Amino acid sequence: MAEIIQLDEDLSPAISALAHSLSAEIDEDNLPSDKFENVANILLNGLLDFPKIKSKLSSLLTDGKVCIWGENSDQLQILYHATSKSDTGKPHDHGSSWALYFQVSGVTRMSVYKDALGKKLPNESEKIELDQVFDMKQGTGIYFPPGSVHSAAHPSAPAAWIRLTGQDLAKLPRQVYDENTGLKK
Ligand SMILES: [Fe+2]
């Protein structure tokens, strides 16, 4: 899993408050409420409005990912991701976990997939097809329920984003697909 880092006196209370507010919207089966995407977007935009938070986040790292909340690997994980170089993504699922991506700076070009019958949770299909592509700018967040397949690319750099998941993904079996053929790898 990503290393959980010690946060400083500015980030620590802000991330802790965020995590507790998010957790209030996640039920005992670890599934977010219907309003989770809206609530998370409001809370995450609120986080970015705190003085110093954006520069504190960007000082955590310029490439890669770091866990900023998630001592319990079966519960909410908050990871900060950044890239200093443009990149392309590969279609993937998050195993049995949900996920929410939130753009902190720059742009993520998000591709979302369906199966041949149009099913939006295609991670048990042998083949996927592109459903939609959109650019996520700062302050935009999107929720993916368990079973979703997506690909996150960064056509321009730098870019930074926060990814919430319901579990530590390093512990979950996951699917990856060929970006050209859509076939399960
Ligand atoms: Fe993902």
Indicate the domain borders of the chain: 11-171
- How much is the pLDDT for 2? 65
pTM of the complete model: 0.95
Distance 176 CA to ligand 1 centre (A): 10
Tell me whether residue 101 is exposed, middle or buried, using C-beta atoms within 10 angstroms of its C-beta: 0 to 12, 13 to 18, 19 or more. Answer: buried
Distance 152 CA to ligand 1 centre (A): 7
**What are the backbone angles phi and psi of residue 156, rounded to the nearest 5°?**
-130, 155
Indicate the pairing of strand 128-136 with strand 141-144: unpaired
What average pLDDT score do residues 63-77 get?
95
Please say whether the structural domain 11-171 has been given the CATH code 2.60.120.10. yes
Residue range 26-54, pLDDT digits in tens = 999 999 999 999 999 999 999 999 989 99
Residue 132, SS3? strand
**pLDDT beyond 70 at 1:** no
Distance 117 CA to ligand 1 centre (A): 22
**pLDDT beyond 90 at 171:** no
Distance 127 CA to ligand 1 centre (A): 18
Cα 108 off chain centre by: 11
Query: Across the chain, what does the average pLDDT equal?
Result: 95
**What are the backbone angles phi and psi of residue 173, rounded to the nearest 5°?**
-65, 135
